[in-house]
């Protein structure tokens, strides 16, 4: 699939078929996350692949009752190993780079999943402590996104986007491109 088709065709999917994910597909999706850029190539990415229903339910409840999380056959919890980046970049690495790095990995995985015919949704509304406990994250590991993954059982319409002219500035703010 063309990269632009993936970027423009991907939608947040919140209804999933129970069909299992092919292991080879899952590996390709996780590897797409691993291929993302990271500050200084520190690679703070840590991925928890959840298939156990009990853990999925804990994640759904940590995400304030977003029950669709538990309905996906696989849920990936995208985490940052904060220490890995902070060691090199200190406060900026801890507060910014490791978050940007995991965000880049998250969208890479979502686009790869879409290209393979799977649906995903980036879930960011959750209690971080509850998610950390659900996945038994050790100290220094921050869960930053929950990504349910499965064959889509819905085909959402594209939500509106702010027109390009409104967000692009010519050289400096105040001048339109
Ligand atoms: C950082 C972030 C957090 C999000 N958190 C949630 C969430 O907790 N629950 C949810 O259903 N969708 C969540 N979304 C998905 C957005 O609602 C969705 O991307 C947006 O409405 C645009 O729709 P699209 O993904 O189909 O283009 C989140 C997306 C991002 C990038």
Q: Report, as an integer, the average pLDDT of 30-54.
A: 98
Confidence at residue 134, expressed as pLDDT on a 0 to 100 scale:
98
Distances (CA, A) of 53 to 28, 50, 60, 71, 177: 23, 8, 10, 9, 50
Closest CA relative to residue 75, chosen from 14, 128, 116: 14
Q: Decide whether any atom of ligand 1 lies within 6 Å of the 121 Cβ.
A: yes
40, with CB counted inside 10 A (0-12, 13-18, 19+), is: exposed
pLDDT digits (tens, 9 = 90+) for 67-117: 999 999 999 999 999 999 999 999 999 999 999 999 999 999 999 999 999
Instruction: Count CB-CB contacts under 10 A for residue 2.
Output: 9
Token pair of 173 as six digits = 């703010």
DSSP letters of 95-128? IIIHHHHHHHHHHHHHHHHHHTT-EE--B--S-H
Round to whole Å and give the CA distance between 127 and 135: 13
The pLDDT of 14-30, averaged and rounded, is 97
List pLDDT tens digits, range 135-149: 999 999 999 999 999
The residue whose CB lies within 8 Å of the most ligand 1 atoms, and thus the one to mutate among 9, 102, 109, 122, is 122
Q: Which domains does the chain have, with CATH numbers?
A: 3-152 (3.40.109.10)
Global pTM?
0.97
pLDDT, the chain, mean? 97
Q: Is the CB of 124 under 6 A from ligand 1?
A: yes
Please determine, for residue 177, whether its predicted confidence score (pLDDT) is greater than 90: no
Q: What is the pLDDT of residue 104?
A: 98
Q: Work out the pLDDT band at 176, boundaries 50, 70, 90.
A: confident
User: Which numbered atom of ligand 1 lies nearest the CA of 156?
Assistant: 26
By alpha-carbon position, which residue is closest to atom 31 of ligand 1?
122
């Amino acid at each position: 699939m063309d990269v632009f088709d993936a970027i423009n065709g991907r939608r947040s999917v919140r209804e999933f078929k129970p069909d299992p994910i092919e292991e080879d597909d899952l590996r390709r999706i996780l590897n797409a996350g691993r291929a993302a850029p990271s500050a200084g190539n520190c690679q703070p990415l840590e991925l928890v692949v959840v298939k156990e229903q009990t853990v999925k339910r804990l994640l759904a409840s940590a995400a304030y009752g977003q029950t669709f999380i538990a309905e996906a056959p696989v849920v990936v919890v995208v985490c940052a190993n904060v220490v890995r980046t902070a060691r090199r970049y200190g406060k900026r690495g801890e507060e910014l780079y490791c978050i940007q790095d995991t965000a880049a990995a998250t969208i890479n995985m979502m686009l790869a999943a879409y290209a393979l015919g799977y649906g995903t949704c980036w879930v960011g509304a959750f209690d971080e402590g509850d998610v950390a406990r659900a996945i038994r994250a050790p100290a220094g590991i921050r869960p930053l996104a929950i990504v349910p993954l499965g064959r889509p059982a819905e085909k959402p319409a594209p939500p509106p986007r702010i027109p390009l002219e409104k967000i692009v500035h010519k050289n400096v703010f105040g001048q339109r491109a």
